[in-house]
Structure 1
Amino acid sequence: MARVKPKRHGVVTDMTAMCDVAFLLLTFFILTTQFKKPDVEQIKPPSSISEKLLPDASLMSVNVTPGGKFYFQPVENGTERIQLLDNMGQKYGVSFTNAEKVAFTKVQAIGVPMTQLKSYLDLPEDEQKAFKGAPGIPMDSTNRQLVDWIQQSLAINPQYKLAIKGDVNTEYPKVKSLFEGLRDIDFLKFWLITSQEGNPNK
């Protein structure tokens, strides 16, 4: 007698919970991801085979353009940025309004001397982003405003770290003045940002 095969029923899987989890994860990553801000000017760093990563927190950075102009990016903390602006204002005899302080917490990078900073902060935010022809922060043997920005940042938090991103075509004497200024304030450990190239030993 032939064996009777039981009738198979299709298995239905409820995917509602899986969709909920997927959307929750997607929302989490969108809200917590920190997107890389574009450079204020086009900078192509030299290449290296180093695989060390920059620290994520408490990082201030200096960008050096091919022409040798310096831009300073303070740490993202808004309260500490206002304190930094107050310290620099006291050092250079410049006072800032509350509106200018709020604007300073939003700037991507500082690329003007202290004498022009107030007028730059008074610009609307979209005009600040579109601002072209910035002279950069002075950094030479007679005017070391860039080192002052770094030193006043360290006075607020000595745990701040510094990364320097220079263009492959920047002349060394331009960067040398920065290195000498950092040496004079006894700040000897910092990162140099490079682009990744293949390791010939692999």
Structure 2
Amino acid sequence: MRWLPCGADAVLIECASIEETSAVRATVTAADLPDVLEVVPGARTVLVVTRPGARVLARVRDLVEGADLDHPPSAEPCLVTLDVHYDGDDLDLVARTAGRSVDEVVELHTGAEYTVAFTGFAPGFAYLTGLPEPLRQPRLVTPRTRVPAGSVGLGGEFTGVYPRSSPGGWRLLGHTTAVLFDTRAERPALLSPGDRVRFRRAG
């Protein structure tokens, strides 16, 4: 684990794995330190931003380095269930690559419970861990210039939903009508780090 200062009031913590990243995020978040303004996880990093002049970064470091990261604190997670129409352009490709039938791919995808590891790429886009091993497949060699909003896909170790139309290289399994990001909502992003997600076959 490396600690990289980001100015006087923030630090970027580089982690060895996505599991360590999640544990660091959970540890700092659970401490609820009043001078910590933001905890922003990435795939292998956690950015901790504190109140200017608070001098709390040393306390954050002591907290993380003294924690049992193999057993991080767990808050009561929000469980979100998304109904999915499994009609994606790459569903057959995913099935062939996995050596499974299309129905088996759907069963694998809907049978797992996922965790929001971090968000990024676009507002409301959540990277979900927990993807079954046969579905961990490479991204497309040539990304699409336009992926419709609500598309459910997978790329590498992650699955997720495109919150709006954008370019993208993930293999598409289907689509959902759920709104992933709404600036008018009290909680604009439907999914936040630490949340649990399940996919349910629609229709």
How would you bin the TM-score normalised by the shorter chain?
A: under 0.3
| TM-score normalized with structure 1 length | 0.26
- Structure having the larger proportion of residues in strand: 2
Of the two structures, which has the highest relative contact order with CA contacts closer than 8 Å and spacing of 6 or more? Answer: 1
- Structure having the larger proportion of residues in helix: 1
Max Rg structure: 1
